[in-house]
Chains A and B, each alone.
Chain A
């Protein structure tokens, strides 16, 4: 790709500027330190071997390694090094927490090193923008007209603005999702817009718009009017299938307040009405959060009381097997209480093996390891609640140096 060489050579400087990592390596590169310094490591190894070793470091350490000295900086910023990273094992996902509602600033939690890094996000203006992420890229959509979309790499800060999606502006609801193809680094972005049909409470027009990064164009493969249901803000793409939550607009039983529908974005042939593939919820939910964990659809849901479904009594995690939900875990009571107050809605995001859960009312962050089925608090976020109504939210993403939007 033309221009990529200049991107690569500047990428490390950009990364270093963007991710302010505490405890820099560079203090230890002075001469005269004890013999076991990075400099002595450095002097024995030729570049090609050093390059191989640095690729095994956690992403934050690779960034710091780029600050040690000119030689390491050149290695880390080299095209070949970045290309090799595509074959390295995926890193554990970070969680970015907005620490202000009006500015795109916050801290990212690194579960590998258990540290928080101060980051300024490109493109996004406030924490109420929609966010979706896949394979190191994060997509942002404005919270107003829903026509400003950006795809960026939050670690390197490189971003691209997408063409405006078709369809009505200022929809009542919209769900954003992104999916990156690992081999080609091409991606699809999907926006599901829902707007109430004029004068009719029960009828909602729902449209699906898909962006293809290769052709840089949007298509609208589906427009449908639903009766008794509307789309919302939750959607995710797994294995070429778009999953999104729909919400009942009629009365109905508590278990029927939410539902899941699917759309095959790689198929694109006429797939029949959306509700044909309807998947009910496993129990009454106060809210649901969808995520892609290694191409499996996982939902984190607030469990509502049977008689008062708007009141949350716990949090559960389910995996979708075909059309059936398999319960993976329930948040143990001590963690549920550990948040203090839990609203019926909360923030939750996950990718790879980790699920992050956060109450809007506090910067406490809980981590569920999907592999080990273990719950654990993150290390303490360096941010405290400054006023009673302050809200916190965030999203998870895989930190990858080598992917460009």
Chain B
């Protein structure tokens, strides 16, 4: 049952605007803080996050917000696949996770990068 959900607008560093549900946007403590303290207008600027990174962040949050809480296996395989990407993109995601303050995403990307360092040596 979908209730009337408030939509938030996020603007990436290259001026592309993404519209997302509030619940999803609130996965980011940074965004949550800005909205709750009225620091932003209708559109929240995210000058440190590019479009393609922001799109992936939204994809992660969407999966985690909409998945049923007890389906850990599915989330685990989603996460594992999600970080199975080029390490430069992974850096970008981790940096965004840190800036946007999304704890689970930060843990995931940091661990993935630590695993890469571990493997290389």
Contact = CB atoms under 8 A, between A and B. Distances in A.
A53 B95 contact: no
Nearest to B116: A41
Given A25-B121, A28-B121, A44-B88, A57 B94 contact: no
Interface of B is mostly: helix
A310 B120 CA distance: 52
A57 B120 contact: no
Given A44-B91, A45-B91, A53 B113 contact: yes
A57 B110 CA distance: 10
A53 B117 CA distance: 9
Interface in B72-115: 87-88, 91, 94-95, 98, 106, 110-111, 113-114
A36 B90 CA distance: 14
B111 A41 contact: no
Contacts, number: 48
A57 B88 contact: no
B118 interface: yes
Contacts of B118: 57-58, 61
A37 interface: yes
A44 B90 CA distance: 11
Interface of A: 23, 25, 28, 36-38, 41, 44-45, 48-49, 52-58, 61, 64-65
30 contacts: A25-B121, A28-B121, A36-B120, A37-B120, A38-B117, A38-B121, A41-B113, A41-B116, A41-B117, A41-B120, A44-B91, A45-B91, A48-B98, A49-B91, A49-B94, A49-B95, A52-B98, A53-B94, A53-B110, A53-B117, A54-B117, A55-B110, A55-B114, A56-B110, A56-B113, A56-B114, A57-B117, A61-B117, A61-B118, A64-B121
